[in-house]
Amino acid sequence: MGYFTILAAIPGFFLSSLIFMALWGVIAPDFGIEKIGYPMAMLITITLWLAVAPLAAAAGRRASK
């Protein structure tokens, strides 16, 4: 079951990266920072996912008890 969960998350990753890039492009000029491209948005997204995944797993284990 875990393998299929990972496969189901793959499209979400690419979509999250695309949304992140689009939103960054909208707010970047307001803060005086440069826009980022899709590869950088992917890097930031995977970094955030790796940081949040252990917290979500721990919360899920705690809620199921």
Q: What is the pLDDT of residue 9?
A: 84
- Cα dihedral 54, 49, 14, 11 in deg (nearest 10): 10
Q: What is the pLDDT of residue 3?
A: 77
Q: What is the pLDDT of residue 5?
A: 78
Q: What are the extents of the domains in the chain?
A: 2-64
Tokens of 44: 């930031």
pTM recorded for the entire structure: 0.74
For the chain, the residue count is 65
Q: Give pLDDT tens digits for 44-64.
A: 999 998 998 888 888 878 776
